[in-house]
Amino acid sequence: MKVLIATDKPFAKVAVDGIRKEVEEAGFELALLEKYSAKQQLLDAVVDADAIIIRSDIVDAEVIAAAKQLKVVVRAGAGYDNVDLEAATAAGVCVMNTPGQNANAVAELVFGLLIYMLRNNFNGTSGTELKGKKIGIHAYGNVGRNVARIAKGFGMEVLAYDMYCKDEAIRAEGVEPTCSVKMLYQSCDVVSVHIPATKDTKQSINAELLNLLPKGAVMINTARKEVIHEADMMAFMEARPDFKYATDITPDNHAEMLEKFAGRYFSTAKKMGAQTAEANINAGIAAAKQIVAFVNDADDCCRVNKK
């Protein structure tokens, strides 16, 4: 039984060591492909893999077809928009994620980005504080919940909108649910985006929503670039010099955004929300344990594709 870690953006070494321990204690073999520059390297590496642990690595129909022995793919993280679920199902491959395991790391980065923007990129000029401001959490999943917890520590008023989460469940955590996503955008000084990239959410953060944001608003995106309508964002930033946008996922129009809106637009060099030793350990070891449980006990608890 061969388990392949295929991570273009590698885990911390301590996480790889932890995964190796889990895999080898189960009597399986571990292979490692990191920082690959060409898709062919991935296609070659998956040929004899029974299980694969990935991050944002693209596992499309071609990769699945090349992996003749593949039984299970675990996305060590939350979003699985990088995996072709239909191709996996057609090939009899189980796809899982590791929900919640990197959520705190992403949530902490939200506040790193937020303070960086509110304190004017630490350029020495007078900025603003978080205390007393309203933060709107757009999708109240594992990351959103962690954002809420941290926001309360800063003395922020916390609002959330999630079409799949009951109002009572949000309210029970001391967070105010809004009746619509529009209401969230029009009510908050800060919006933190946590929606997954699906066919329904792609480009859904568009002019209609952005135009509702109050004066001086800040948006932080640690979710996916695809959920933003980039042309609308560009036009909104042009029309609203009071608005600031920081993202952990470099948009396609990054160079133009940077040139036009330096100081109030920021993108990390590489998606790094989940890039902490703790998150790598949590998600990586959970992925290894899920593979062992799947192979030994047919446990597919975190399965995200159809059988």
Residue 5 interacting with ligand 3PG (CB under 6 A): no
Candidate list 10, 79, 99, 216; residue touching ligand 3PG; CB under 6 A: 79
Interacting residues of 10 by C-beta distance below 8 A, sequence separation 6+: 16, 34, 35
Which residues share a beta bridge with 83? Answer: 59
Candidate list 46, 67, 74, 78; residue touching ligand 3PG; CB under 6 A: 78
For residue 182, give the DSSP letter.
Answer: H
Residue 55 interacting with ligand 3PG (CB under 6 A): yes
For residue 162, give the DSSP letter.
Answer: -
Interacting residues of 100 by C-beta distance below 8 A, sequence separation 6+: 78, 142
**For residue 139, which amino acid is it?**
A
For residues 129 and 147, the answer to whether their CB atoms sit within 8 Å is no
Candidate list 18, 77, 136, 141; residue touching ligand 3PG; CB under 6 A: 77
Residue 267 interacting with ligand 3PG (CB under 6 A): no
Residue 284 interacting with ligand 3PG (CB under 6 A): no
Residue 74 interacting with ligand 3PG (CB under 6 A): no
CB of 56 to ligand 3PG, least distance (A): 3
CB of 152 to ligand 3PG, least distance (A): 23
Candidate list 18, 144, 273, 284; residue touching ligand 3PG; CB under 6 A: 273
Integer CA distances (angstroms), 231 to 32, 205, 245, in order: 39, 11, 14
For residues 130 and 154, the answer to whether their CB atoms sit within 8 Å is yes
Under the rule (CB under 6 A), what is the footprint of ligand 3PG?
Answer: 9, 55-56, 77-79, 102, 271, 273-275
